[in-house]
Each structure stands twice: as C-alpha cells, then as structure tokens.
Chains A and B, each alone.
Chain A
C-alpha cells in the first residue's frame, strides 16, 4: 500500500481544519454532526438516544446510562443533523490519463474534501466509479481520516476486463459505473469526473433524481484543454480502444477547442438547470489553490 500521506500532507491538513463543506439544501441525516439544521430552529433540544458507534464524539456519551446498563449510548439532538457526504470518484480509464494523471488528481481532491467532511463530523462515503462494488464509509470523525486516505489512495482505474453491467464487451460508461453507487441516503454528492462519456447527461440525470445537494467537479487535464498533438494521427480511445483518424492542423485544433468549450457550457447549463453546483477544474491547478480559492469562491467549502 502506498503512503496515504502523498495525498494529503500535514500542513494542508491543518489548514483544512477550518473548512466545512457547504450544502445548499435542507438535509436530514441519521447521525450526530456538527451541522446545524435549517429545519429545526436554533435551540438545542434532546431528541433520542442511540447506540454508540466508533467515531462518535465521547463527549456525547451518556455516562449515567452507561453506569446503569454497561452499554454506551449517545444523546442526539434535533437541532443538529448529520450531513451525509458521498464522494463519487470517477475511476474510469479515461481518468487514468494526462500529466498529471487526472485520477491521481481526483484521489487527492477526494481525500482533501473527505478530510474536510470527517473533520466536520459529516458522514462520509467514498464511492469509486470503476465498476467495482467496493466503497468506503460511512465514517465520521477526524479519527477516520487515516483509513479514508488509505482507501482513497487505493482507488485503481477500471481495468479493460472489468465485468460490464450492460452491453456485451464494451467497458462500463459513466452511467453504468453508477451502479456501484448503491447508497439510498440523501446528502451532499460530490462527483469528481471528466464526464468524457457519451452517457454523461444520463449519468448526471440519474444523480440529480436523488434528493440532496450535488456538486460536479469537472476535471480535465491540460492536454485535453490545450492539445499539443499535431500531424496526421490515429487517435486511440483509452477506454474503448476505438480509433479516430484525423489530421491535426491549426483548423482541427481550433475546431476541437470550440467543441470542448461548447460541451463544457452544455454541462454547466445542465447543472444550472438542475440546481447542481458545477466547477470546471484544470488538473494543472494546485490542490491548495483549488480548495482555498476556487471552491471557496464558488461556495463549495467555507
């Protein structure tokens, strides 16, 4: 296993402790959190007990009940709610491309946002979208940061022989990969993806159909944003192996740029229509700049 510290260094982690993820919709969670509910008013009222689970704040343990029953219970209050944060990391083969690799960048971004969520006692889930059924969570509390980082670090790109969910031999597209996202709980969905799939619209439509808030971190590499290829080439699709022959002269590069801008505007427009946050990301941007400048400015974190 690689060192999780490569995803998040200590200096950045200390800076992140001041941040929280922002959800713009009213959300109901199942656990206790630091998030103040928009629904219940501002007073703190006792609501119920539940069994202690690993990661719960020890300060909320009812020691009186423990002394009588030898069982750990924690108190929950209606005014506070738990924010479920679903971190969806696109691990398709198209993400495993670029310099730096988009998947590596996505892992770092997911780890960073996941750390913010854990630090804010959000209930965190990490869902690699690679056709595998493995996921991480729920987890909350800063103490879970280590396992979360290790899990995130281990997210592997989808392999060509990944069993397909639909179709016979084609690799899973983005929509099909969402099959691995099995959670029914509402919350904040953070999708880190390049959306380079013909089914991107269906996939986003399927996610917005769920209740909850959603943010799309549209991650593209500099080589995709500003291609440096030239000459008479046969472009090989990293995911499907399909080939496209093209003469990359100035005209072709210009047309590609127009097509890319148009597509990104379409995605942004879709997100705007469905109340989904949309952040276009260039993987050449340092993570720290992205968090403290771009995401903070766009209200994704505060």
Chain B
C-alpha cells in the first residue's frame, strides 16, 4: 500500500491535542446542592487520579484518537495497485438532429441513442474521462471530461433532440479537440446515420465507433420548400408555392392540405414517385391573411418523421414607407421620391422642421440641414452642415470616384463610376459607418451604417453640385436607399431554417422584445442595444415577436417568422453514413491502476464517529 499525499500524515501531530483537550477545564453549568460536604471528599479522590485514569480508561478518548488517526490516514490518500483496463478519454456524440425524432424504433431514435450512450458510459474502464456532446445545428457540450459518471449519465438523460439539421463536421472536430491524447481518445457516435459524411474531415480523428440506431429502410414524406409571393394578377393577394418530396424507395399517395391562419382551405391529392417530388402552387389566398401552412399526409399512414410534414410561410405585406423630406427645395429628390413605389412622401421646409413630429416617419431625408436633436427614424443625410452630429472638416474640390462597394445592396445595379462632384465636405467617418464610395485619397463620398437603433446614409455633398441626379443610376440608388432605410418589421427574414438564427431589429422606441416559440416558450430581450440575434429556432413552426413599449403597457407591430426544416437532406432519414466507423488502433491493454482506499476508510470513520457521539451522550 502506498500513499498519494504522505505529507498529510503530519496531521497526526494533532493527536496529542485531543489528549490535551481532556486535561483542560471544561465549561460547567451551576447546580445547587444541599451541601458539598460529601463532594469535597470525592473531588479529592477524583483529583488525585483523574488525568491518569481518564487516559487509561476513557473509551471516548480512545474512539476520538482512533477516528483522528483514521482521518489522517485517509487524507494521505492510501492506494493499492491493481491490474485493470487502461482508462480512456471517451467522447460520446449523441446525434440530436431532426431525423433522430423519427419513431421507426420505439420510443424514438434519439431515446435509443441516449440509451446506447449510457450503456457505453457504464462499460468504460475505471478512471476513464467522459465527455458528452449533443450534435445539433451547433454542437453542445453537455459535460466535459469528467470521471463523474453520474453527472454524465444525468446530462445524457436530460438531453433533448433539436428540430434542425446537425453539423456533424463541427461536432467531430470539437470531439477531436476535447479528446486530448489521441492514444487514449475514443469517439463514440450514436446516430441514425441519416447524413452524408463531410468530405473535408481531418485524418487524425483517431478511434471512432459508430453506434447505429434506426431502421435502414425507413422512408419519409416531407414538405421541403414553401414560399409566398404577391399574385402577379392582383398584388393584394398572395400565392403559395410548396414542394413535397417522397424520400423513400416506394411510390407515395399523399394529400397536401393548405391552411391559412390555421384554417384548412384546400386539400390536394398528389402522387409522388419514389425519391421524387411534387411542386404545387396555391393561388388566390385570402387577402389580409397573416400566414399559411402546407401539410402532407400519407394516405397509407406511413411517415418516418413528422416534424417536416408541415411547413409554414408568413404572408409578408409591406406597408409604404413614410418619408419626410426636409429641404429648402430640391427638385431632384422630390421627383425621385415621388416616383418610387412603396413611398409616401411628405415635404417640409428646413426652417419649419421643428413644427413637425418627425418621430412618426420611417425615413427622414435631411437636405443641406440637420437639426440639433436627431429624430428616431432612419436618416438619409445629404450634405450635412459643418457643425452637427455628423461633423465635417473642410471640403475637397472636384473629388473623383475611385472605389465603391458594388456588392453592397445600396449600390446594387447602380453604376456611379462617372459621378462628378464639384465640391464635397470632408466627412469624419463615424465608427459605426462604412464608406461605400471613396476617392483615391480615401475621402468618403457616401457612408452607411447602423447608428444604434437607426440606419443612416450620408452623402457629404450637395446633389445640385454634382451630376448624380442626372445619371441613370440615381433612381436605382434612391430605390436601394429607400429599401435599406425602410423598416422591414422587427424580423429580418420572414422564414429561416430550424436552428438558423433570426435577426430582430426593434423599433427605436421599443423597450423590450418578446419572442414566443411554436410551443409557447416565451423569451424576452431588452431592446436599445442594436439588432438582436435570436437563435433558439430548433422547433419548426411560427414564432411570434412582440415589441413592447412604455414598460410593457403597449405592444407595437407584432411580427411573425417561420422556422422550417426545409432541407431535403435532413428530411431523408434513411441511413447512408459510410466510412466513419474506425474503432482501432486503440491500445486497450492492461495497466496498473491505483485504487484509492479513502472510501473504505471513510466508511469506517463515519460509524466510529456516530458511536463516539452516542457514547458521549450516553455517559451523562
């Protein structure tokens, strides 16, 4: 037997302290007696013999010394050497992708995978370290490198599958980096294999054992695409496009049910060939509807995965942007803004700006003018004055366009290479702004960016001192600018794939943003810190976004976005993984293990202390 911490034996020096405690006076409570006449004689007897008699005969002292000695020995961590299996560093990857919710095996593929992972965990050699990772759209480390198997087991039992496609490559790379020494690392992947192995995996993954779950020939019907657009004949109405796929090797007879705002509107019977698809267009959706869904159901009742049977689409209806033009008079701006669709234009002279409630406009165009206090809406600032929120330092004569960001949506299809400017202000580029058009000297001629809650575009020159209003690119540029500056609602995109993030851009006056998932889980975010990235989109369905103002008293512009699996590959739940299983070469030989004995010693000390406690209370 050896000791891991032999220095701890110095704690044995405390043993004499216990003996000293027995020699010290103790705190006594007073008791009145008729006379101490007899006790006086007794004390003389006791006093003459007490120290030696106690040390010789006190069972309590013996028990305490024994307990202290055992504790000292326990702290020194004695161990014995035994022959046993080499410990490993096990990485348990549990596939939490959408296909794992298939119930071709009972209760589900995911439950089977968890069960297999827990069995593997229990069979690991002693002293092994285990890491549990849930493979989802982004892999989640449930427990990292611990020898506490109960902790890992609890984490596995608590894991839940996602409704999204999994990023297997990222999970395997994470497993490799968390697994430590390659010789001891062993990756276990519990999966249905319903994915194609990424081609760019590194070669040094080491030992990978694939534990398959699920039936190999399980087919699936899915709505893999859904999209809404305005009806070309009547743009007040919308059309719905849906693609249904038969991801099996047998032909399917199915019914597509189209619903609007939760009410079934149309059933359409379809036949889909093996591994084929059927594209359907639903027209004449009711005007004013908020959302639509398409559900596929197999007439035979067979369907491997249910979460991709329904796809949702939000029926987006843009309102015209409310634009306020603050100018002493600019025919070019007035003309182009009047002509642009989806713009309601209002004009005001600069000197009368303060008489207008500017905060209610979506876009404010300041031409050769800036108020001391900026309004809340998005801004197009043309030729800002020297003093003000957007400072300029001097001017530049006849700047030439040298570079422009033609990939930016603001400059899409706008050819401004021939733009000439007679004189431009030298703008101090704010930190939040990105130059879109610059001269060879780096002087910006157009910047854009997100200043807190508002979007701002600045043109640091007078339009009437340039040929820009006369160019063909001008109306295109202005259309792009209005699109950029128009509020598109709080949600950035009306549809995302499950697991993909949604960007929420609350209105400036909003205090909080509340998101309700399809299963009515509600999350609140504080607004005012710029766009919010919402990533908890694992559940397919409709997410409702509320913007709350005035401390929760009101909500403004509730918005919806849809999350759909919308992924043929993810909906194909047939196992097709090959080439990953590579269990060896792992040195699984025997080794000498140090088996610590503290648990046994603790099991002795505890009852010993309990008995000591009992004996102490029994004697008095």
State the A residues within 8 Å of B (CB): 94-95, 97-98, 102, 194, 196-198, 221, 224, 229-240, 242-252, 255-256, 259-260, 263
Contact = CB atoms under 8 A, between A and B. Distances in A.
B34 A97 contact: yes
A196 B38 contact: yes
A98 B36 contact: no
Interface string B14-31: 000000000001111111
Given A246-B42, A248-B620, A255-B45, A234 B35 contact: no
B40 A244 contact: yes
B7 interface: no
A246 B43 contact: yes
Contacts of A221: 34
A242 B36 CA distance: 8
B614 interface: no
Contacts of B25: 245
Q: Max chain A CB contacts within 10 Å: which of B27, B31, B32, B46?
A: B31
Contacts of B37: 196-198, 237
Interface in B29-68: 29-43, 45-46, 53
Contact of B26 (A242, A247, A259): A247
Interface of B: 25-43, 45-46, 53, 619-620
B34 A102 contact: yes
Contacts of B32: 97, 235-236, 238
A202 B26 CA distance: 37
B459 to A, nearest CB: 93
A243 B26 CA distance: 15
B428 to A, nearest CB: 84
Contact of A196 (B28, B34, B42, B46): B34
Contact of A235 (B36, B45, B53, B619): B36
Given A196-B38, A230-B620, A244-B43, A238 B33 contact: yes
The 7 closest A-B pairs by CB, nearest first: A196-B35, A97-B34, A230-B620, A94-B34, A237-B36, A234-B28, A232-B28
B402 to A, nearest CB: 96
A259 B36 contact: no
Contacts of A260: 38
29 contacts: A94-B34, A95-B34, A196-B37, A196-B38, A197-B35, A224-B33, A224-B34, A229-B31, A229-B33, A232-B29, A233-B28, A235-B31, A235-B32, A236-B36, A237-B35, A237-B37, A238-B34, A238-B35, A244-B39, A244-B43, A245-B25, A246-B39, A246-B42, A248-B620, A252-B46, A256-B38, A256-B39, A259-B41, A259-B42
A237 B43 CA distance: 14
Contacts of A235: 31-33, 36, 39
A95 B45 CA distance: 26
Given A230-B620, A231-B620, A249-B619, A255 B33 contact: no
A236 B30 contact: yes
Contact of A194 (B27, B29, B34): B34
B593 to A, nearest CB: 49
Contact of A249 (B33, B38, B41, B620): B620
A237 B46 contact: no
A143 B212 CA distance: 115
A221 B32 CA distance: 14
B55 to A, nearest CB: 14
B394 to A, nearest CB: 93
Given A98-B34, A236-B36, A251-B53, 19 more contacts: A97-B33, A230-B620, A232-B28, A232-B29, A233-B28, A233-B30, A235-B31, A235-B32, A238-B34, A238-B35, A239-B34, A239-B35, A247-B26, A250-B619, A255-B45, A256-B39, A259-B45, A260-B38, A263-B38
By secondary structure, the B interface counts as mixed
Contacts of B35: 94, 194, 196-197, 237-239
B94 to A, nearest CB: 61
A202 to B, nearest CB: 14
A263 B619 CA distance: 26
A255 B46 contact: yes
A88 B38 CA distance: 23
A245 B24 CA distance: 13
B30 to A, nearest CB: 5
B415 to A, nearest CB: 101
A237 B29 contact: no
A177 to B, nearest CB: 14
B42 A252 contact: yes
A244 B53 CA distance: 20
Contacts of B36: 235-237, 240, 242-244
A250 B35 CA distance: 20
Contacts of A249: 619-620
A254 to B, nearest CB: 10
Contacts of B38: 196, 256, 259-260, 263
Contacts of A259: 38, 41-42, 45
A130 to B, nearest CB: 15
Contacts of B34: 94-95, 97-98, 102, 194, 196, 221, 224, 238-239
B398 to A, nearest CB: 104
A238 B31 CA distance: 10
Contacts of A198: 37
A246 B27 CA distance: 11
A233 B619 contact: no
A106 B620 CA distance: 32
A236 to B, nearest CB: 5
Contact of A232 (B27, B33, B39): B27
Nearest to A200: B37
Nearest to A102: B34
Nearest to A96: B34
A95 B28 CA distance: 25
A250 B36 CA distance: 18
B48 to A, nearest CB: 11
A250 B28 CA distance: 17
Contacts of A197: 35, 37
A244 B44 CA distance: 11
A232 B53 CA distance: 17
A97 B39 CA distance: 16
A238 B34 CA distance: 5
Q: Which among B29, B32, B53 has the highest number of chain A CB atoms within 10 Å? A: B32
A282 to B, nearest CB: 14
A92 to B, nearest CB: 9
A6 B439 CA distance: 124
Nearest to A245: B28
Nearest to B57: A251
Nearest to B32: A236
Contacts of A232: 26-29
Nearest to A221: B34
Contacts of B30: 233-234, 236, 243
A250 B57 CA distance: 12
A229 B26 CA distance: 16
A23 B45 CA distance: 41
A234 B33 contact: no
B413 to A, nearest CB: 98
A237 B36 CA distance: 5
A240 B35 CA distance: 8
A224 B36 CA distance: 11
A194 B35 CA distance: 10
A230 B39 CA distance: 14
Contacts of B619: 249-250
A263 B31 CA distance: 22
Contacts of B53: 251
A199 B39 CA distance: 16
Contacts of A102: 34
Contacts of A245: 25, 28, 43
A222 B620 CA distance: 19
Contacts of B45: 255, 259
Contacts of A230: 620
B383 to A, nearest CB: 95
B33 A256 contact: no
B519 to A, nearest CB: 64
